[in-house]
Amino acid sequence: MNYTLSNGVSIPRIGFGTWQTPDDQTAVDAVKTAFACGYRHIDAAAVYANEKSVGRGIAVGLSELGLKREDIFVTSKVWNTERGYERTLAAFDKTLSDLGLEYLDLYLIHWPAVKKQFPDSWEDLNASTWRALEKLLAEGKVRSIGVSNFYEHHLQSLFARCKVKPMVNQIEYHPGFRQQSVVDFCRSEGILIEAWSPLGRGSVLTNPVMVDIAARLKVSVAQLCVAWCLQNRTLPLPKSVTPSRIAANIQVDFEIPQAQMQAIDNLPECGSSGLNADEIDF
C-alpha cells in the first residue's frame, strides 16, 4: 500500500532505513533482504557514508527479483556541509553516482540551517539549498522533494521563499516522541510525515505499556511501533540488518484497537535521541 504525495507521486508507506549500516557487504545484503521481504522503499543519505554499498544492494536486489527501477522508491538527503545552491547540486550528483542510479524518487534537506549557527543567514541558506532541489525537480532528476528535521518556523520561512512546497518532512517520530505540533502543521500543509527512528530507543521497546499491548495483540513491540506510525498516517522507516527483524518490521497487517492507540498516545516522552534542530552544531 502507498501514500500519495502532494504532487501526485506514489510512495510506499513503509521504508527501509539504512542509517548506521556499514558500507560493505552488510549494506548490500540488508537491502537485498529488504527487497526479498517486500520493501520497495529505500531511505538513504550521503552522511550515512554507505551509499555505494546501498546502491550495490539495490542493483543486485532488482536483478535477483526481476524488478524494474520504477518498481522501487529511493530517497537520499543533502548533508549540512553541502548546503547552498551549487554545493547541493554537486552533492546530488555524487549521491546519484554512488547509488548507481539515473534519478531519485525523493531528495531531502537533511537538517535545516538554524539561527544558532547562522544568525544572519540561516533563512537564505535554506532557501538557496531549496532552490537547488526545485531545479532538480524541474529537470526530472528527482520525482519529489522535501525536508528533514524542520520545525514549523523553518518551514514557514521556506514557504515565503519557495516556488514548490516540500512534499515530505522526515522527523524523529515514535510512541515516545510524537512532535505533535510539527505533525499537525505539516498535515495542514499537505506535507507527509516520515518517521525516522520509528522504534525509538531501548526504553520504548521495553516500556511496560508497549510490552503489554504487544503481548495482547501477539506481535512484537517493534511491529507495534510500526503499526502505530501507520495508524497515525505517517510513514515509518524501520532499520535493521537482521533478516528476521527486517521481515518482521514489514509484517504489520493488523490494527491496534482505539483504546490501545490512546494508551500509546498517552505515554510520557521516552526513548528520544535528544536532538533539537534549533540547537544542532553539526
Residue 150 sits at the vertex; the CA angle it makes with 252 and 159, to the nearest 5 degrees, is 115
Name all contacts of 97-101 with Cβ < 8 Å and 24+ positions apart: 98/46, 98/51, 98/52, 98/55, 99/44, 99/51, 99/52, 99/54, 99/55, 99/58, 99/74, 100/55, 100/56, 100/58, 100/59, 101/55, 101/58, 101/69, 101/74
Q: Active site includes 48?
A: yes
- In our burial notation (b when 16+ CB lie closer than 10 A, e otherwise), range 204-223 reads bbebeebeebbeebebbbbb
In the chain, what is the straight-line distance between the N-terminal and C-terminal CA atoms, in Å?
36
Which among 39, 48, 107, 151 is annotated as catalytic?
A: 48
Among all chains, which residue has been given the C-alpha cell 549540512? 80
d(CA 229, CA 151): 19
Cell readout for 230 is 501507520
CB distance 125 to 167 below 8 Å: no
Q: Catalytic amino acids?
A: 48
